[in-house]
Amino acid sequence: MPALGKWLSGQVTSLGSSVIAGFAVASGGAFVFLRLTSEVIEGETRAFDDAILRSLRQPGDLSVPIGPEWLTHVVTDITSLGGTTVLTLVTVGTVGYLLLALRRQTGMFVLFSVLGGWLLSTLLKIGIARPRPDIVPHLVDVHDLSFPSGHAMLSAVTYLTLGLLLSRVQASRATRLYVIAVALVLTLLVGLSRVYLGVHYPTDVLGGWCAGATWATICWMIARRYLPRREEPVGR
């Protein structure tokens, strides 16, 4: 037993604290998502979801959101940052930059990581097939299924994946933290905007965050293990 304990201790130490933290985040995110999915399917979260959506509207008229009129325009602009068009442009722009910077392996890994996350989001929506909320009028047009929130999940998949992978090529710790912080803020704002606009239940957004963060963390751990931090110039 002492020998086994010493071996396990050595294995944990060799992994590094960041990898252990990543594994914990991925495992925790997956656990919360699966637990939340079960509760959603059983209808256990409906009262909570409805209460939150109602609290964001005027008591006398559920078609009017709380806050000043300009806030709705701001939130609508924010929610577009999680739309397919914007996320596609961000991904293509980032991959293009990496290719031009002669970081071809990282660029292709980013591309396939984001595309894989988008495919996973679509499959989850189809598999769970939760209808959109109807407790309050929607402030923007929506046509697909509700759980997990596509905007929340795809924002997490795209921004967190890009943030985590791009942080690997930053020289300073402050720059790495800044890149990850920006990715987190964008992901959170997009998800919250979907609830304010009445097009998603809060649990839809939470599920999207958990699934997206889990995927992004897994991609980061794979990149950390297999992608070189510095790539040799090829064909400059």
Q: Which residues are catalytic?
A: 151, 200
Q: Which is it for the CA torsion 21, 27, 32, 33, positive or negative? A: positive
Q: In whole angstroms, give the CA distance from residue 88 to residue 74.
A: 21
Q: At what angle do helices 2-15 and 17-42 cross, to 10 degrees?
A: 90
CB 134 within 8 A of CB 192: no
Give, in order, the Cα–Cα distances in Å from 93 to each of 86, 97, 231: 10, 6, 20
Residue 61, strand partner residues: 58
Q: In whole angstroms, give the CA distance from residue 128 to residue 12.
A: 37
